């Protein structure tokens, strides 16, 4: 086999490989594009659902905190002395701990 024939066969093989690579590259791009679209739609639904659930949880938590604060406010207004005594005792204990000598 002559050198020219070998070169032609190598060129043909390279041309064939190039064509196959371009074809498979297009197929791969299409496949990735399709899967990306599916993933995006699946995650989009998840994000929307998670957002709704987070808002619902925040609203529920806000209601519980408001209710708790309202009940505490009513109790303090009914009988403030135990709360004042508790605050004074807490301040005294905190002052004792912070004012101790470190030696």
CB 42 within 8 A of CB 49: no
The per-residue pLDDT for range 48-88, each reduced to its tens digit, is 888 888 999 999 999 999 999 999 999 999 999 999 999 99
Q: Which residue ranges make up each domain of the chain?
A: 3-76
pTM (two decimals): 0.44
The per-residue pLDDT for range 20-49, each reduced to its tens digit, is 777 777 777 877 777 777 777 777 777 788
**Distance between CA atoms of 80 and 75, rounded to whole angstroms?**
8
Read out DSSP for 35-88?
Answer: HHHHHHHHHHHHHHHHHHHHHHHHHHHHHHHHHHHHHHHHHHHH--HHHHHHHH
């Amino acid at each position: 086999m002559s050198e020219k024939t070998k070169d032609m066969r190598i060129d043909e093989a390279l041309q064939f490989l190039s064509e196959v690579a371009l074809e498979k590259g297009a197929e791969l791009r299409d496949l990735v594009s399709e899967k990306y679209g599916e993933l995006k739609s699946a995650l989009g639904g998840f994000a929307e659902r998670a957002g709704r659930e987070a808002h619902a949880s925040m609203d529920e938590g806000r209601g519980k905190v408001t209710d708790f604060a309202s009940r505490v406010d009513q109790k303090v207004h009914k009988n403030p002395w135990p709360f004042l005594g508790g605050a004074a005792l807490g301040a005294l204990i905190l002052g004792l701990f912070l004012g101790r000598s470190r030696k």
